[in-house]
Amino acid sequence: MLFNSPAFIVGFLPVTLLIFFALGRHSIFWARVWLSGASLFFYGWWNPVYLLLIVTSIIFNFYCAQALQRYDAVSSYLGTAPSKRTILILGLAFNLGVLGYFKYFMFLVRNVNDLTGAAFDVPHIILPLAISFFTFQKIAYLVDSYRGKAREDSFLNFLLFVSFFPQLIAGPIVHYSELLPQLREQRIYRFNARNFADGASFFLLGLAKKVVLADAFATYSDPGFVGAAQGGSLDFTAGWVAALSYALQLYFDFSGYCDMAIGLALMLNIQLPLNFRSPYKAASIIEFWRRWHMTLSRFLREYVYIPLGGNRRGRVRRYANLMATMLIGGAWHGANWTFVVWGGLHGAYLGINHLWTEIRGPVTPRAATTAMARGLTLLCVIVAWVIFRADSLRSAGAVYAGMLGVHGALLPEQVLSLLPPLRHLFVGVGSVPYLGNQTVMGTFEVVVMLTAGYAIVLLAPNLYEMSRRTRLLIVALSFAFTVQKVFFSAAISPFLYFQF
């Protein structure tokens, strides 16, 4: 079930909220049972078969965590027991094994076939929705249990912690300490008009980002990438339109989802951690990763980079750990070499950024240098997004070739007629390749939309920096467009991060 679907907005959400708060007035236990059941129903809407997978995984991880949390009592009772570290390793192996089978097994077999000439055949494996997110969340819980930072005796609370529908599908990746203590507070189960109004405003503004902005930029980015995947050659204009449009599509799509998730939780009086904070305003790649998918960055830092040694074992090891962490982060997004290369590229970016910071030392920031740093950072991010979006390394190369002008720079004949001096630089072809715009107005629309999109992400405050009054005003202004897109569009587009 999609957050941007009518079934969710006018069906699932109001029914879930009404019954939750009605039960909460009389029984906190049954309110938790209802919310857990509603969350599992939300997950099972996509494919009921995979309810068995997520419930089995939740049961295994709960009792594995119990063994870690109660290790001294269990080992003394049994007399002999596996070491605490062995229990943790078994728990991690189970979670990573399930993730590896569903997400990477076919990818591994294809690569073995390509390298060896073998013809191993495996049936098509459907990737369970949200498996990457809830796997990382449970891994964090097991490690925190091993470290003595997590303690939960209630299976119902743990079930709700993992399956809580606002954050289940695409994050944020929530820590034990951020959600489970809230579930014990009685205020959660009493309707709060202020929280509901704030949550609804975040939800509606996130919805507008998705259906009004992200889906619009998809119509500009998709033709270029699809054309490249089909073997077409992109010119300079088409290459940059595809790259710039996808950067905005992904920004508004994921930002919108994060706002909607936080808003839905707030309607239930629950605070989820911030996951997205104007990342295109970052003045360095280091800062970018402190603003983009913040809970994934936190997971990679705390459960991958630091356990590998972090920066405690010398400069060379530090850069190796950075690269390894980003390669894992890239592979987490999908079973394709494009994601691995994307992660490696960001690993190289981070290494260069840290090295430059060491060489340069502390400096006083100035407006001009900050603007240049932001521009360079954004350019690097956009260049990397091309690999992230492309179906293959070959099609990514086709888009890069277009961006570099390898196939020339083409503009519509209508534009060249209006601006004759441009004929010395560009060749007119009557339309913009892969954009589907046959008139100068179509080209003008793309330029205006890209300009407006980057003005919003670079200059406008984010929703968390706005006053309540400003948010409500924007909701009122965008409401009609949002309703039209949700209820009268021919198709409902899924969020991009659902594929991960």
Which residues are catalytic, by number? 333
List the one residue out of 205, 211, 133, 208 whose CA is nearest residue 174: 133
Q: How far apart are CA 1 and CA 259, in angstroms?
A: 17
Helix (H, G, I), strand (E, B) or coil at 406: coil
211: tokens are: 């259906």
Question: Which of the 8 DSSP states describes residue 175?
Answer: -
**Cis preceding-peptide flag for 172 (omega within 30 of 0):** yes
Q: How far apart are CA 417 and CA 103, in angstroms?
A: 52
Question: Which of the 8 DSSP states describes residue 412?
Answer: -
282: tokens are: 């970052």
> Given its phi and psi angles, is residue 434 left (phi above 0), alpha (psi -120 to 50 degrees) or beta?
left
176: tokens are: 């034990």
Which DSSP helix (H) or strand (E) runs through 427? strand 427-428
424: tokens are: 């010395």
Length of the chain, in residues: 500
Under 8 Å between Cβ of 446 and 220: yes
